[in-house]
Structures are given as C-alpha cells and as structure tokens.
Amino acid sequence: MAEAHQAVGFRPSLTSDGAEVELSAPVLQEIYLSGLRSWKRHLSRFWVRRATAWFPSRIQLPELLGSPRLTGEPSTSPTGNIYSPPTPLSAPLPFSSHPQTQFLESRPLMPWCSLLSPFTSVARLLLSYHGWLLEPHGAMSSPTKTWLALVRIFSGRKTMLFSYQRSLPRQPVPSVQDTVRKYLESVRPILSDEDFDWTSVLAQEFLRLQASLLQWYLQLKSWWASNYVSDWWEEFVYLRSRHSLMVNSNYYMMDFLYVTPTPVQAARAGNAVHALLLYRHRLNRQEILPTLLMGMRPLCSAQYEKIFNTTRIPGIQKDHIRHLRDSRHVAVFHRGRFFRVGTHSQSGLLSPRALEQQFQRILDDPSPACPQEEHLAALTAAPRDVWAQVRSSLKVQAEDALEAVEGAAFFVSLDSEPAGLTREDPAASLDAYARALLAGRGHDRWFDKSFTLIVFSNGKLGLSVEHSWADCPISGHMWEFTLATECFQLGYSADGHCKGHPDPSLPQPQRLYWHLPEKIHLSISLALRGAKTLSGNIDCHVFPFSHFGKSFIKRCHLSSDSFVQMALQLAHFRDRGQFCLTYESTMTRLFLEGRTETVRSCTREACNFVRAMEDKEKTRRALFRLAVEKHQSLLKAAMSGQGVDRHLFALYIVSQFLHLRSPFLDQVHSEQWQLATSQIPVQQIHLFDVHNYPDYVSSGGGFGPVSGTGCHVLGFEFVCFYIQW
C-alpha cells in the first residue's frame, strides 16, 4: 500500500551529529506554516459549515448576523433552540457596517455567546476520554456509562457531517520513551540477539542525545497546528513521492462479486454517475451522517471534503492537491478519445436515463483518436517529475482540454473489455479484474484524479482511487452508497436500461482535442513503456474464502481482524519459514484531522502461537487467545494516539529540518515492510440488508505491493484476500 511503500522515501541530506543544536528557524517556520494552513482550512470551512460552527449548540449564525435586536430569553440547553421563542426575521442582512447589524448590542445574545466556548470545550473534553476503547467487548464500566450519557446530552438531536469537528480533540504526542520502548518490543521477534542489542544501543543513544529536542518541537507543533503529524504525512509520504501513482500509490475497489445489475454499459454508467452526484449533493449539504465508532464516538470528517472536484497536480519535487468548490461535468475516456459530459441542465442534475443517453452517444461515436491521444493518460502513470515537466508543455498546447479533465467532478473510463467473476474460470477472471482496476492498460486511467469510475463493456464497475486526499474508509463509504443507490433505489428497467426517458434536446458530448507537439509524442511513448513494464512486474491473486466469515468469528468471542492477522502470520511463516515486519493500517480519526497509524502485528505472542501450531506437543488455544489479546491492545493503543510509527515519522521529519543525524531514526525509516495488510470496513451505511441479499456482497479492493518481495492482503466480511507481489 502507499503508506508502507512511501514511508521510507523522504531522504534529505544530513550534515550534523546533533549533540547540541540551537533553536532552528527552518523548523519553527515549518511549524508556523503548519498552523497557518490549519487556520486557513478552518476559515475556508467557516461559511460552508456555518450551520454547525457552534456545535453542540444548534445556533443559526445567519439569523444572528442579520438580526438587529432579538427578543426572548436565551436557552442554556446545548441541544435546544437558542431562543424560546425567537422573533421572526423579516429581512436578515449580511454582516456589514449597517446600523442594523449592531447585533452585539443585543442584550440576550451576549450571555449565549459566552456559553458557546465552554460548551465546545466540555464536548472536546468528553471526546478525549478513551476508557471505553480499552474495556472488554460487551462490558461497560460506570465511568463509561456516565461518559456515554454526557456525550448524548451534548451531541444534540440533529447532527450533520461536520457537526463534531470543533469538538474533536487534537491528536496527542506520545511519550518518546514509551514510543522507543514499544518499537524495541515490536522488532524483538524478527531480529537476532546481536542485531537487537545493537538497535537497543542506538535507541538509548537517541533518547540521551536527541529525543528531548525533537519532542519539544513536536509538542510545540501540536499546540499550534490541528494535528502534529497529518499534514507532514500527506506531504512527505504522498505529495513528495516521485514514484508513479499507478501501483505504488493508487488503490482500487470492486463491484458486487456475484451480481451485475445490468449488462448494458451505458446504463450502468448512467446510474453510477447519477448516484455519485447524489452523494456529492448530500455531501455539500452535510446530509451524510458523521461516522460513529460503536455507535457513540464520532470520527473526524475532514477527509470527505476532497472526494469530488479534486486533482493531484504534478510538480517538480512536490505535487499539490487542487480542489474546486464545484464542477458540473465529468471527463470520459473511450477508445483513446476524451469527452466532456455535462451533468446538469437548467432544471438540475441530469436523470440517469439522460446520462445513459450521453454515454451511449460516446460508445456509438466512430471517430478515431488523434495521434498519440490514445496513450496520453500514460503520462499520469509516469514518475512525477517527468509528468510535471511534460504537463508544463501540455498546458500551453492544450490548455482547454487539460482543464476539462482536471476540472471535472471525476474521471470516467468506458472500457472496451469485459471484467468480473466468471463461472468458467473464477480464479483467473478475478485476478484479471483486479489487475484491470489496479493498472488497466497503463493509458486508460487518469491517475491524478481523486477517483476514476471504470465501467467495463459487460456493465461491471470498479474504482481507481488516488490516495493522497483521503484513506480507504472515506472512498469506501462513497462506494457503498453508490452501489446500493444505483442498484436498489434507482434500479433498471426490464431490458436493462435506466428508468425514465431519454432527452433528445441534450447537446452531444463535447469531444476534447489535444494539440500535441512532437516532443510530447516521445514522452508519451516512454511513459507508456514504463507503465506497461511496471504493471507487468505485478503478480495479483484474489482469493475469496467462503467457509466462514466475520459472523462465525464473532460467535467465538474473537476480534475478526485479530483472527485474520494471526492466520496471516501463520500462513507467512509456513510459506517463508520466518517472521517479518508486518504493517497493518488502522485509523486515528478519533482526533481532529487524524488519518492512519500502523499496528505492528508480528508480536512475540503471535510468534509463540505460530510456533505452537507447528509443534503438536504444545498447547495452542491459550497461546492463540494471548496473541489475539495482544493484537487488540496494540490496535486500541494506535487508535487512541499511542502508536509507534507516526510518532517516529514526525520525529524523523523534525530531525531532517534540523539537519540532525540520528542513526536510530535512520534505521527505523530504512526498514522494509515485507507484509502489509489492511481492511476496508464494509456496511458502513445500511441502505440494504446484506443478509437478505447475500449475492450483493462487495468483493472489496486492494493496493499494489509495498516491496519487490512483499505482498498485500485485504480482508472483508466473508474474508476475501487480495495478494499482490
């Protein structure tokens, strides 16, 4: 996956052994800029989120700003209306110097405003409690029951997507001593005695000479910025990576495993695009409910902001993310040609049948591709510095066409080949399906777009997702909504077409023409060759395991995630005869702007269990329980901000700004993850009951391998494994 693959990629020059370092202006400037970016994001979100700006109270800010004098007594209930009853407003005015906007003179307003900050602070304090996370499954202590009651009181009755953002706590900076101790514990099972002793010496030297200084800078940043690590993670792991996005960073998601609602390609595209735009509409109106962990603890929703209208723009040394407030078209690729398809008319969003009509017009268009146009998108699969240089020329020669693609809501690829599970050869067909989504033909995906919707000729769907803007659960949530909506709510007619009637008055899709000079022709050819070489080096296998799944594991009173992790450790040991550094991704969205943390799944307890499975004389069940419990404790610690790798990563970044050489941090960030694992949560939204429609289970998705000899596995409800190496 991109996280494990790219985390070792940042290597600036080092010039000092750093025994004594003065305060560094570059580090202070970077910390200042991190905080400045945080505050800019908060300000840019203010008007978009004005209905939730004062959550947990349901204050309506426009009414306050437009009201010269409000009568009635202020309510002190955090879940009640601000006034009881409020005076109707005949003509609210915008904030200006007009005398009517002297709302601060309003006698009832001031007491209420003075209560807003304490309410937010209390809510943030409540959400900082993580005792519930550490309790055994099914048990709830008295403090947790009290905490849950208070959370419900302060949460209000009508929550919106961003309702909790102001109340989320900031991600804490762990103790550097605890982090180093946990790191040494994690590598003990895979290092020889000699290597472990040497690593311990480096760790102690780091704690003695450098740790306190680096930790001080991180503490300073944590006080000033929204999150002490997330912006650096986005920049150095993703945007500064110079590798191809294809395989190395982007990931994919699959359609229903056993069902294709319609074999009509244009119809499936029409319903899917309409469903995606319905999701965007709900997103813009904050009608998507915030995700609640275990039904009670809200997760950060910041990553939802860039799902649509977003493109990763290549740059020399560093890319940047371009996000538009709105876009009313999608870019479409078919048989080497690019089209611009409008998604709205004067009356609003086009119907699924109208969108189907537009896609069918593209499929029926016999015009050929222009020279090198067919392979143009291979440039987005090239190394980023190469693509940045070519894009500068392309922007001059074909600015309108490039803007139509990069400014689209998202990218749509109408593939000419079928895909999906076939009864004749299920294993090979699923492998080919995964490979088509991961890399395609190297030139039929615009890998820079936030996501590409892929519609195969037999109506099968898929998604290729750029990773820098958000993590898998966000795009997974959108994808669940899309599949459920286009199949169960929009539906299809008996002949497989979208419901409704075509609209002959719609203009034809706009063909995009690229004026490509000869020097770009050569760049396209080289990019295509590199993309084919890269995709050709990937082996991919999809293995659905249907003997049992999550429900059975839960009945055994076990964590399904921990169960699968132990199975992977056993399988890897039996295959390779040794243990390896194992990466499992989990989320830190309990905190404001949190992203991910690493769970180091190859523990001493897991190794003891695996060895016992190879020795018939040893007791296995007790060791298995211990291994599962250890994994659960690591997972919960990571989720609550007490993980190892993000803290070490942030310490390493500070050391690079200081030009401070740390042999310990160098060693940590030169390690290769041989086994990288992840799971995307399914059934995040319950638009249909999967138990009543068992054939409509999604087959999940996957990433490229993290190293030349590594593999990636993704587990789902019925346990579907994706292995790339």
> Residue 512: which of 407, 357, 614, 609 has the closest Cα?
407
pLDDT confidence of residue 683: 65
> Residue 697: which of 553, 493, 490, 483 has the closest Cα?
483
Per residue in 678-705, pLDDT (tens digit) is 876 666 667 777 677 778 877 778 888 7
Say whether 409 sits in a helix, a strand or coil: coil
Q: Is pLDDT at 63 greater than 50 in this prediction?
A: no
486 within 8 A of 261, measured Cβ to Cβ: yes
Q: Given the DSSP bridges, would you call strands 675-678 and 582-587 parallel, antiparallel or unpaired?
A: parallel
Per residue in 441-474, pLDDT (tens digit) is 999 999 999 999 999 999 999 999 999 999 999 9
pLDDT confidence of residue 72: 38
The model carries a pTM of 0.86
pLDDT confidence of residue 276: 98
Q: Which fold has domain 2-24+184-236+543-724?
A: Chloramphenicol Acetyltransferase (3.30.559)
Question: CB-based contacts of 394: which residues, under 8 Å, 6+ apart?
Answer: 379, 402, 514, 516, 520
Task: Give, in degrees to the nearest 5, the angle at Cα 271 between 268 and 277.
Answer: 135
CA dist., res. 563 & res. 569, Å (int): 10
pLDDT confidence of residue 710: 45
Asked which of 15-19, 125-129, 485-489, 561-565 is least confident by mean pLDDT, the reply is 15-19
Per residue in 560-614, pLDDT (tens digit) is 889 989 999 999 999 999 999 999 999 999 999 999 999 999 999 999 999 999 8
CATH class of the domain at 248-289+307-364+404-505: alpha beta
When pLDDT is cut at 50, 70 and 90, the band that residue 38 belongs to is low
CA 671 to chain centre: 24
575 within 8 A of 626, measured Cβ to Cβ: no
CA dist., res. 473 & res. 586, Å (int): 10
Q: Do domains 2-24+184-236+543-724 and 248-289+307-364+404-505 have the same CATH topology?
A: yes
Average model confidence (pLDDT) for the chain? 84
> Residue 638: which of 647, 629, 626 has the closest Cα?
647
pLDDT confidence of residue 46: 54
pLDDT confidence of residue 723: 62
Per residue in 232-249, pLDDT (tens digit) is 999 999 999 999 999 999
CA dist., res. 588 & res. 592, Å (int): 9
pLDDT confidence of residue 719: 60
DSSP symbols for 296-353:
TEE---GGGGGSSSEEEE--SS--EEEE-S---EEEEEETTEEEEEE-EETTEEPPHH
Q: Is pLDDT at 98 greater than 50 in this prediction?
A: no
Q: Is pLDDT at 2 greater than 80 in this prediction?
A: no
pLDDT confidence of residue 104: 39
Say whether 365 sits in a helix, a strand or coil: coil
* Active-site residue list: 467
Q: Could you tell me the residue ranges of all domains in the chain?
A: 2-24+184-236+543-724, 53-159, 248-289+307-364+404-505
pLDDT confidence of residue 342: 97
The helix or strand, by DSSP H or E, that contains position 641, with its residue range, turns out to be none
pLDDT confidence of residue 172: 96
Give Cα separations from 589 to 148, 348, 487, 596, 718 (angstroms). Answer: 19, 35, 30, 8, 25
pLDDT confidence of residue 701: 83
DSSP symbols for 48-72:
TTGGGTTTTS---HHHHHH-S---S
Q: Is pLDDT at 174 greater than 70 in this prediction?
A: yes
Q: How many residues in total does the chain contain? A: 725
